[in-house]
């Protein structure tokens, strides 16, 4: 399901009516965090999380932090709940063996950059990571999960959408109130172009923690997209961001196909998209994350547009990482 439109509009009828439920949700989150007994590992744990429900750019952030740590000489392992996967016990993701149906699409993508462990029990997965050579754990999501002690918490937000109407689920897009979440955060990372960053600061002001600004930029692969006719499809939090990236590369999108986040790419769906692309004389294009869910028969037929996080000033993050060791 796409989020309700009123989540990203000034508070009105529906957000007001649902605010009591939002207060209950926020109370439940705070109660869970207060009652949890956090496992403290012998190695640092870095949490990449959010306050919003839905996509904010966590996956590119996890990749960027992992690569930053590797460049510093460390061996990070990534721990994920494995959203959408079917495996119930803590498992190390094997790109050659596992499918997105088993471990989730994001862990399968992340496994190309660092060892990844998936489990509904994040603490158990983190212990296995430590036992298997990790000298730092990157927790993909889990900012509101109390099972694991976090030595550094980075909250990621989409600069264009900000924190929506500022209300907690279901009255708005938030898992907890902004001021409560940011009080626990060590760093805030807003992702978006300069105009969106300026708007974010105008609406939400200076955060109570160090603030990083970044943008997602397409990875240069040598592919010349200029003038290419494409049918672009994406099952991510905000598909329109991917479509904008494809246009920035110079491609002509003859049809956009926004899908639900993590939507299965069934044989029937892919056959329909393939037929539509043929009729339009277009190339099928999707995201790296969606590509992990493609049926085998379509992997050679669909091009991907990988994106990477670019941060203007890494100094606040580098200082925070250095303090951990």
Nearest to 316 by CA among 209, 215, 158, 159: 209
Q: Is 206 annotated as a binding residue?
A: no
Q: Is 22 annotated as a binding residue?
A: no
User: Rounded to the nearest 5°, which phi and psi values hold at 89?
Assistant: -100, 155
Q: Is 164 annotated as a binding residue?
A: no
CA–CA gap between residue 187 and residue 57 (Å, rounded): 15
Give 291-297 contacts, CB < 8 A, sequence gap 24+: 292/100, 292/105, 292/108, 292/109, 293/100, 293/101, 293/105, 293/235, 293/262, 293/264, 293/265, 294/265, 294/270, 295/265, 295/266, 295/267, 295/270, 297/267, 297/270
Q: Is 57 annotated as a binding residue?
A: yes
Structure tokens of 163? 């924190």
Burial letters 204-215, b for 16+ CB under 10 A, else e: beebebbbbbbb
Cis peptide before 309 (omega within 30 of 0): no
Instruction: Assign residue 69 a region (left: φ > 0; alpha: ψ between -120 and 50; beta: otherwise).
Output: alpha
Q: Is 58 annotated as a binding residue?
A: yes
Q: Is 245 annotated as a binding residue?
A: no
Q: Is 73 annotated as a binding residue?
A: no
Are residues 137 and 129 in contact, defined by beta-carbon separation less than 8 angstroms?
yes
Are residues 236 and 55 in contact, defined by beta-carbon separation less than 8 angstroms?
yes
User: What kind and span of H or E run contains 35?
Assistant: helix 13-35
Q: Is 42 annotated as a binding residue?
A: no
- Enumerate the known binding-site residues for ATP: 52-59
- Enumerate the known binding-site residues: 52-59
């Amino acid at each position: 399901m796409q989020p309700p439109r009123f989540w990203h509009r000034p508070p009105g009828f529906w957000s007001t009516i649902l605010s009591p439920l939002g207060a209950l949700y926020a109370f439940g989150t705070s109660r869970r965090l207060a009652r949890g007994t956090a496992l403290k590992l012998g190695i640092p744990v870095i949490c990449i999380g959010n306050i919003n429900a839905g996509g904010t750019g966590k996956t590119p952030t996890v990749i960027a932090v992992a690569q930053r740590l590797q460049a510093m000489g460390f061996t990070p392992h990534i721990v994920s709940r494995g959203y959408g996967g079917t495996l119930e016990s803590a498992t190390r993701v094997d790109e050659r063996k596992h499918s997105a149906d088993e471990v989730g699409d994001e862990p399968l993508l992340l496994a190309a950059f660092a060892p990844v462990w998936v489990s509904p029990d994040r603490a158990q997965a983190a212990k296995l990571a430590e036992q298997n050579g990790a000298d730092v754990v990157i927790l993909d999501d889990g900012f509101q999960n109390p099972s694991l002690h976090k030595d550094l918490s980075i909250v990621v937000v989409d600069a264009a959408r900000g924190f929506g109407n500022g209300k907690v689920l279901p009255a708005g897009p938030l898992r907890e109130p902004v001021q409560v979440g940011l009080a626990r955060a060590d760093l805030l990372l807003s992702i978006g172009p300069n105009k969106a960053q300026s708007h974010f600061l105008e609406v939400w002001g200076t955060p109570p923690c160090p603030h990083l600004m970044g943008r997602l930029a397409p990875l240069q692969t040598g592919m010349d997209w200029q003038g290419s006719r494409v049918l672009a499809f994406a099952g991510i939090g905000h598909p329109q961001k991917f479509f904008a990236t494809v246009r920035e590369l110079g491609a002509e999108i003859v049809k956009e196909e926004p899908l639900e986040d993590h939507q299965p790419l069934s044989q029937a769906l892919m056959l329909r998209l393939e037929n539509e692309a043929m009729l339009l004389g277009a190339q099928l294009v999707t995201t790296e994350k969606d590509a992990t869910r493609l049926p085998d028969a379509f992997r050679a037929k669909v091009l991907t547009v990988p994106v990477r996080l670019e941060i203007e000033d890494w100094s606040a993050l580098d200082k925070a990482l250095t303090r951990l060791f």
